[in-house]
Chain A
Amino acid sequence: SQKIEQNSEALNIQEGKTATLTCNYTNYSPAYLQWYRQDPGRGPVFLLLIRENEKEKRKERLKVTFDTTLKQSLFHITASQPADSATYLCALGTDSNYQLIWGAGTKLIIKP
């Protein structure tokens, strides 16, 4: 069955460093992959979308890569700040189906 894996343990990063989160998937051929940020008790907030024919996407301090051969996406936050602390979710979708498949999320903690 389709499966998405994100680091289940919290990721602790020192302020100013680059945080890298991983999203791996199996038994799926997504057309695109999305990353969201979620704060406690709130809905996810859309950050970036990358399509299967794109290797990399950037937005300010954020960078996403998408390797369809490795079936993996990496999400980078450069010059991390304590305000970046949150849970980050990845989600995959296809153009033939409006349903996204979601990872369970990785909790990121940026320490001052």
Chain B
Amino acid sequence: KAGVTQTPRYLIKTRGQQVTLSCSPISGHRSVSWYQQTPGQGLQFLFEYFSETQRNKGNFPGRFSGRQFSNSRSEMNVSTLELGDSALYLCASSFSSGSANYGYTFGSGTRLTVV
């Protein structure tokens, strides 16, 4: 079966711009979580969506937002980009219970570089 698909794979943006990243979860997975990963840092939780509702949110500024569609596909948006937003953004899909029983399936990520 198809894995988690994230697009685009790489992205270069200028400070002040906004960006939208997309994630298509595994078929049957209704939970989608987003993480930010920077060198030397653990994965930082952004938010989690289930059935089009944000179920949990991490400690990121309001510039980071997301949404989930009825087909479980999810997007995250970052407005007014800053240099510190440069990171690998990872999407993880799972069953309704989150990762508690079967773990997450991650996409390959979107590498965002802000210049």
Contact for B42 among A32, A42, A47, A89, CB less than 8 A = A89
Complex: chain A residue closest to B111, CB-CB: A41
Q: Is B104 touching A99 in the complex (CB atoms < 8 A)?
A: no
Q: Does A104 lie at the interface of the complex (its beta carbon under 8 Å from any beta carbon of B)? A: yes
Chain A nearest CB from B103 CB (Å) reads 3
Q: Which residues of chain A in 12-71 are interfacial with respect to chain B, using CB atoms and an 8 Å cutoff?
A: 31-32, 34, 36, 41-47, 49
Closest to A49 in B: B103
B4 to chain A, nearest CB (A): 8
Q: Are B106 and A99 in contact (CB under 8 A)?
A: no
Asked whether A93 lies within 8 Å of B99 as measured between CB atoms, the reply is yes
In the bound complex, what is the Cα–Cα distance between A31 and B101 (angstroms)? 11
Query: Count of chain B residues with Cβ under 8 Å from any Cβ of A?
Result: 31
Residue contact B103 to A43, C-beta cutoff 8 Å? no
Whether the pair B104, A46 counts as a contact (CB closer than 8 A) is: yes
Which residue, of B55, B106, B107, has the highest number of chain A Cβ atoms within 10 A? B106
**Residues of chain B from 50 to 76 with CB closer than 8 A to chain A in the complex:** 50, 55-56, 58
Chain A residues near B (Cβ < 8 Å) = 4, 31-32, 34, 36, 41-47, 49, 89, 91, 93, 95, 97-105
Give me the interface of B with A, judged by CB distance under 8 Å: 4, 31, 33, 35, 40-45, 48, 50, 55-56, 58, 88, 90, 92, 98-109, 111
